[in-house]
Amino acid sequence: MTTSNAATPDADPAVLEELTRLRDSIDNIDAAVVHMLAERFKCTQQVGRLKAEHRLPPADPGREARQIARLRALAEDAKLDPAFAEKFLTFIIAEVIRHHESIADDTAGGRP
């Protein structure tokens, strides 16, 4: 999706062209992030069903801590703020656990 430059009509056309190019890249990256998150949640839903079927707890604090440490290290290597990466993963983990709890409740109630 090309971003409009209506807010900067007096800017140098070369600057506007570069701004559009960068924004188009950002839009593409955002789309990729959404698709990757969708794939991740498809996998975590399968994990949730497996846990529910075998009456395993929805949360795994040990794995979560290892994943946070791993993501912080990846963030540092990528020159991304590790605290931001941790907040992002913590948000995702909370949503996954919520899904796992819901799946467990549905399974206990006799729903597939």
63-84 pLDDT, tens digit per residue, is: 999 999 999 999 999 999 999 9
Structural domains in the chain plus CATH codes: 13-108 (1.20.59.10)
CA 56, CA 77: separation in Å to the nearest integer?
A: 34
Question: What digits encode the pLDDT tens for the residues 29-68?
Answer: 999 999 999 999 999 999 999 999 999 999 999 999 999 9
pLDDT at 7: 63
Amino acid identity at 84: F
Nearest-10 Cα torsion for 41, 47, 53, 57: -100
Q: Count how many residues are written for the chain.
A: 112
Residues 6+ apart with CB under 8 A from 38: none
